[in-house]
Structure 1
Amino acid sequence: MKVAIAGSGALGSRFGVMLHDAGNEVTLIDKWPEHIELIRKNGLLVDNGEEKRYVNIPVFYPSEVKETMDLVFVFTKSMGLQEMIEDIKPVIGEHTKIICLLNGVGHETILQEHISLHNIFMGVTLYTASLKGPGHAYFNGTGKVEIQNFVVGEKEELEAKQIVELLNEAGLNTSYSTNVTTSIWRKACTNGAMNAICALLDSNLHQYCSTDQAEPITRQIVKEFVIVANKKGASLNEEEIVDYVLQASKNIGSHYPSMHQDLVQNHRYTEVDFLNGAVARMSKEFEHEAPYNELITQLIHAKEQILEVK
């Protein structure tokens, strides 16, 4: 399979390496010059905490890629999706399948402006990864992936299951979902309850969840998410997600969520508008208020300005 990874940061690199190791013809696409040039010079340095190795995978700027791909996995930041899809139009043919595993909600609205609905496949992943620097990807542990065809139909379902098989052959624990909307919103809700708060407090998950304030704050954020999610066709349980978030600190407590990595560690823009900000906007559509998520969004944008992010 000819596979493009559109957005070859931490998670994109992880998927790209695993698909490459499984024998697929993988092309990495990214916009970070230092990252691209180091990979071109040395290969991608893959680090799992115990051993390091260099993996030679072709990497290009979006404007350089002209060959039509069979599959394109989008791993940009949410706010960069529109620009990336526009930049890589030459690789998207009539039968090219787009697999979106981005954090947050609302990405299908952007994708369907450029791609046939029949070729869009939405999903969610619980794999984690980070970049220790340009050309240096760090990932260990395991995770899972869920994928579902955006358009309901026998042909689209078969194609989704073929993508599932491809990912499983690469060692990515993947299943076909019959309700990926719920899974996407569940992850968005989980991220919405953790990411921005850890970025604002400059803390990891364990530090935040050890405070007396963690439970009431988490509960209110989740409550606002669940109201919107269920109106959008998901089926979320408030208590279940609150318990999951608070328990997660025992399993991945030392982990700094991606919004902390972006904002605090690297002074980059965050995905808050596709998480807490999306809930604040959508709540108004249903004549509800989401004061916690609205305030969190405003505070993150204020911190972006204070840190003069790029």
Structure 2
Amino acid sequence: MKIIIAGAGAMGSRFALMLHQAKNEVILVDGWQEHIDAIRANGLKANFNGEEISEKIPIYHQKEVNKVDFSAELVILFTKVMQLDGMLQAIKPLIGEKTKVLCLLNGIGHEDIIRNYVPLNNVLLGNTMWTAGLEGPGKAKLFGNGSIDLQNLGTAGKSDAQAVIEVLNKAGLNARYSENILSSIYKKACVNGTMNGLCTILDSNMADFGETTVSEQIVKSIVSEFFAVANAQNIELHMDEVLAQIHSCYNRETIGLHHPSMYQDLIINHRLTEIDYINGAIVRKGKEFDIPTPYCSFLTQLVHAKEQLIGAK
């Protein structure tokens, strides 16, 4: 399959490598010139579960991609949500009438932007529990296992998503169809809404945070706000499942020593975060439904304060 990975950061690099190794025709599109230059010069490098690998995968700056002769059958979105509209505008010439667009961004409400560029029948909304990190321009660190839940937002449903699921699974990405993707997205958002902001503010990996005596109380306070907002929208969540997913992040033998993507963006790379589309989204929806969200509001404010102190851009 001809695939565009729109956003060649840590997760985009993982998916590009795995799909490329499964013999798909993959190109990367990104806006970080140093990263683009490194991949062009040395290939996309990765520490892949302890093995050092390098693969030559074409990569383009989003400002030049409109000149590329490539008719995508599938686009996988991995941009930062603040960059989503600009990325879709850039790759619009490569999106055909039958191109499927799979959105795997963190956060809530991205389909409202995507439908301005792609018919709803071609939009797949999903979330992924894979993890990844960047050690520097052109070098990813990939470890652990993961999965993808996705749903076709159009009327065709599962049958229209099956070809994409098969391609992902041949690459070992463990995709499965969900009849209620919003529940999966909110479940993932609960993980991001705790691990990302907390580890960023506390300068901690997930395992160390989980071993503090106050971690459970903080996590439950934040998650309860996500549940209240989800319940107002008739989105079903189960507290034991969500807490189990969060607790699994503390395991030092799997992903516990990992610093979440928000930490990598802000603390390491001094880049603005997606906090407004995770905890901040719960604050906005809380106001809409008249639901108090003091913990999400405070964490959002703390992350924004940290952005300003660091001078994130």
TM-score range, shorter chain: over 0.9
Counterpart contact for 1:6–1:29, Cα < 8 Å = yes
Deviations 1:11-44 (A, max 9, x none): 1111111111111111111111111111111211
Counterpart contact for 1:38–1:135, Cα < 8 Å = yes
User: Quick one: which amino acid aligns to residue 128 of structure 2?
Assistant: T
User: Quick one: which amino acid aligns to residue 42 of structure 1?
Assistant: N
Gaps of at least 5 residues in structure 2 are: none
Instruction: Note the 1:90-109 alignment, pairs <5 A.
Output: 90-109=93-112
CA–CA separation in structure 2 for the residues paired with 1:210 and 1:74? 34
1:215 aligns with 2:216: yes
Identity among equivalent positions (%) equals 47
Instruction: Single out whichever of 86-95 and 2-11 deviates more from structure 2.
Output: 86-95
CA–CA separation in structure 1 for the residues paired with 2:248 and 2:162? 32
Partner of residue 140, structure 1: 143
Gaps of at least 5 residues in structure 1 are: none
Partner of residue 70, structure 1: 73
CA–CA separation in structure 2 for the residues paired with 1:121 and 1:244? 23
CA–CA separation in structure 2 for the residues paired with 1:146 and 1:49? 23
The SS at the match of 2:134 is: strand
Counterpart contact for 2:144–2:255, Cα < 8 Å = no
Deviations 1:210-259 (A, max 9, x none): 22221111111000001112323421123432343234313532111111
Q: Residues 18 and 239 of structure 1: is their aligned pair in 2 closer, same or farther, counting only changes over 3 Å?
A: closer
Give the drift of 1:283. 0.7
Instruction: Note the 1:226-265 alignment, pairs <5 A.
Output: 226-250=227-251, 251-265=254-268
CA–CA separation in structure 1 for the residues paired with 2:9 and 2:172? 19
Q: Residues 209 and 140 of structure 1: is their aligned pair in 2 closer, same or farther, counting only changes over 3 Å?
A: closer
RMSD: 1.4
User: Quick one: which amino acid aligns to residue 19 of structure 2?
Assistant: L
Counterpart contact for 2:65–2:90, Cα < 8 Å = no
The SS at the match of 1:249 is: coil
Partner of residue 36, structure 1: 36
Q: What is the count of residue pairs matched by the alignment? A: 308
Partner of residue 292, structure 1: 295
Deviations 1:181-235 (A, max 9, x none): 1111100011101110111111111222222221111111000001112323421
TM superposition score normalised by structure 1: 0.95
The SS at the match of 1:162 is: helix
1:199 aligns with 2:200: yes
Deviations 1:101-130 (A, max 9, x none): 111111111111222111100111111111
Partner of residue 13, structure 2: 13
Counterpart contact for 1:143–1:173, Cα < 8 Å = yes
CA–CA separation in structure 1 for the residues paired with 2:206 and 2:46? 25
CA–CA separation in structure 1 for the residues paired with 2:87 and 2:290? 33
Partner of residue 2, structure 2: 2
Counterpart contact for 1:182–1:233, Cα < 8 Å = no
After TM superposition, which residue ranges in structure 1, 4 or more long, deviate above 3 angstroms?
Answer: none
Q: Residues 41 and 252 of structure 1: is their aligned pair in 2 closer, same or farther, counting only changes over 3 Å?
A: closer
Counterpart contact for 2:49–2:144, Cα < 8 Å = no
TM superposition score normalised by structure 2: 0.94
User: Quick one: which amino acid aligns to residue 190 of structure 2?
Assistant: C
Give the drift of 1:50. 2.6
